[in-house]
Copies of this chain bind each other. A is one copy, B any other.
Amino acid sequence: MARSTLTRDEVLDAAASLVKQHGPAALTMRKLAAELGTAVTSIYWHVGNRESLLDALVQRTVEEMGAILPQAPTGGTPLAGRTPADRILSVARTLRRELRERPHLIAMVHERGLTERMFLPAQQALVHEVHAAGLRGARAADAVRAIQFQIVGFLLVERNRERAPAQSPAESELWDPAAAPHDPALARALARPADPERLFLLSVRALVTALLAPPASAAPGAGR
C-alpha cells in the first residue's frame, strides 16, 4: 500500500469503506490510519477531524442519492406510468429501493437531519406530476409536500422497525383474539407482521388519491 502522497479523496474512500462494512462506530482515526498506511495525524491535515470526515461522507451520499432521479424541471416525462398518480408511485418505489442499499450511510444522513435535503430532486419530480394532474399554486405545493413527507416518513418508520429488537409485548400478543372479541379478523390481521411494501403502496395511493381529487364543496370531517 505504499503511495507517493495521501489524498483527501483516498481518505474519504477508505472511511466510506469502513463505514459501509461495519458502521460508523467502526470508523476510528487509528484504524483508518492503519488502513491507509499513514500516521494518524496525517488524516487530520486532510479532513480536519473525525466529525468533519463524517460530514463529508454524508455530503457525498446525499449527492449520490440525488442523482438517481433524472432531473425534469423543464418538462419531459422521465417516469414510468400512465397517470400522474402512477408516476408518483414510481418515484416512491425507486426511492425506497435505492435507500435500502446503503443502510449505514443513510442512517448517518438521517442523524444529521439531511434526509429532506436528499429528497429535493424527488420533490422536483413530484412537482411535475402534481402539475400534470391539474393542481396549481399553493394547493399543488401542499400536495407535493404532503406526499414527500409521507414517502420520507414511511421510509424512516421502516428503518426504525428493522432495527427494532424483540418487542414486548409484540403486536401478535397485543392482538390475540381475546383483546378484540368483536372483530377477530381485525385482531388476526394486526397480529400478523405488516407487509411494508404493500402498506407503502397502499398508503401512498390513498394519500395521492385524496390530494389529487377535485376539491369537494365541503370536505367531510373538516371540523375547523
Contacts and interface: CB of A to CB of B under 8 A. Distances in A.
Interface string A112-134: 11111100100110010001000
A141 B141 CA distance: 31
Interface in A181-206: 182-183, 185-186, 189-190, 194, 199, 202-203, 205-206
Given A136-B183, A171-B120, A186-B140, A160 B110 contact: yes
Interface stretch (A7-15, A16-24, A42-50, A149-157): A149-157
Contacts of A145: 190, 194, 199
Nearest to A75: B182
Interface in A151-177: 152-157, 159-165, 167, 169, 171, 174
A165 B113 contact: yes
Contact of A223 (B86, B141, B183, B185): B86
Tally of this chain's copies: 2
Interface range, A side: 35 or more
- For A112, A141, A164, A211, the residue with the greatest tally of chain B CB atoms inside 10 Å of its CB is A141
A220 interface: yes
Contacts of A97: none
B137 A183 contact: yes
Nearest to A133: B221
B153 A220 contact: no
A138 interface: yes
A57 to B, nearest CB: 15
A203 B131 contact: no
A2 interface: no
Interface string A55-77: 00000000000000000010000
A150 B210 CA distance: 14
Which residue of A209, A211, A220 has the most chain B CB atoms within 10 A of its CB atom? Answer: A209
Given A149-B154, A203-B207, 15 more contacts: A89-B223, A112-B163, A113-B163, A114-B160, A114-B164, A116-B157, A117-B167, A123-B190, A131-B186, A136-B183, A137-B185, A140-B189, A146-B202, A152-B157, A205-B219
